Structures are given as C-alpha cells and as structure tokens.
C-alpha cells in the first residue's frame, strides 16, 4: 500500500513497473491518471491541500477500497502546488487477480478522492473551483 502527496510529478510507467516487480500473481493492473484540463481563460491552476489530513483521508479511502475488493496492491499519488494545463494531478493504481475488482476499486477511489480528500483547486484568473453536485452524487452508488 502506498499513499503519496507530493509537489513533484510522477512517472506512471515506473509506478506500474514498481507494483509488478518481483511477483507474478497479479492478473489485472488498472491505472487512472487525472490531468489538468485546458481552460478557456488561463491555463494554470494551484492545488491547495491540508498537510496531515490529506494523507489520513487518502489512507482511509485506500483502506476502504481494500476492505471491499480483493486487491493485491493499491497506490495513490496526488500532487499539489502550481499545475499547468496538461499536467498530471493524480495517479491511482489497483492490482487484483481479475480485472473487475481492479477496475471497480480504481473508480471507487477516484469517486471518494474527488470530494473526501482535502484538496482545493484555484484557477488562474478564475478563482476557486466550485465543488460539483455530480461528484457528491457519484458517492451514492457505493453505499
């Protein structure tokens, strides 16, 4: 298990290789990468977070995913600080013997991370990004 909150970028290929290294029991390795979408007005944003609580919140989401699905491994990397359009923001990796668990767990983690991990986006020239109702609704299907 690993949860990382960092300003630095990450290497998706290297993280996936790292998860597979030294084992041959994984049948499905799912990777989700969230990117900064280009915005019409201004293409930079800053991601603020709550050091300490962020790590705890992500670890809790990670633990819940592991309790619900038979995951062999799981990794969440979330960046903070200034991020330009096209930049990687978040990486979720899930590994399981068969694909269903890995796919579902990755989606579950992303759904919770969106509105339960203490991050706030501010777009250059646009101000703070409002939370989306759809993100809150997305949590309901996991109840």
Partner 1 sequence: MQVLYFAWLRERIGLPKEQVETEAETVADLVLELKSREPRYAAAFEDMSAVRVAVDQELTDLDAPLKGVSEVAFFPPMTGG
- Contact residues for partner 1, defined by CB under 8 A: 34, 48, 50, 52-53, 56-57, 78, 89-90, 110, 113-122, 127-132
Least CB distance to partner 1 at residue 122 (A):
7
> What stretch of H or E contains 95?
strand 88-96
Cβ count near 17 (within 10 Å): 10
H/E stretch holding 108: helix 99-116
Closest contact distance (angstroms) between CB of 141 and partner 1 is: 17
Cβ-based nearer residue to partner 1, 1 or 131: 131
Nearer CB in complex with partner 1: 97/118? 118
| For partner 1, the closer CB: 90 or 95 | 90
Tell me how far apart the terminal alpha carbons of the chain are, to the nearest angstrom. 24
């Amino acid at each position: 298990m690993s949860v990382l909150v960092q300003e630095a970028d990450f290497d998706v290929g290297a993280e996936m290789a790292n998860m597979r290294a030294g084992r041959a029991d994984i049948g499905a390795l799912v990777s989700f990468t969230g990117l900064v979408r280009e915005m019409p007005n201004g293409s930079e944003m800053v991601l603020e977070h709550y050091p300490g609580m962020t790590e705890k919140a992500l670890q809790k989401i990670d633990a819940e995913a592991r309790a619900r699905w038979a995951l062999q491994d799981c990794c969440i990397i979330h960046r903070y600080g200034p991020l330009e359009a096209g930049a990687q923001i978040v990486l979720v990796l899930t590994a399981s013997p068969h694909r269903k668990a890995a796919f579902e767990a990755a989606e579950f983690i992303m759904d919770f991370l969106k509105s339960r991990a203490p991050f706030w986006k501010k777009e250059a020239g646009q101000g703070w990004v409002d939370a989306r109702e759809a993100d809150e609704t997305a949590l309901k299907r996991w109840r």
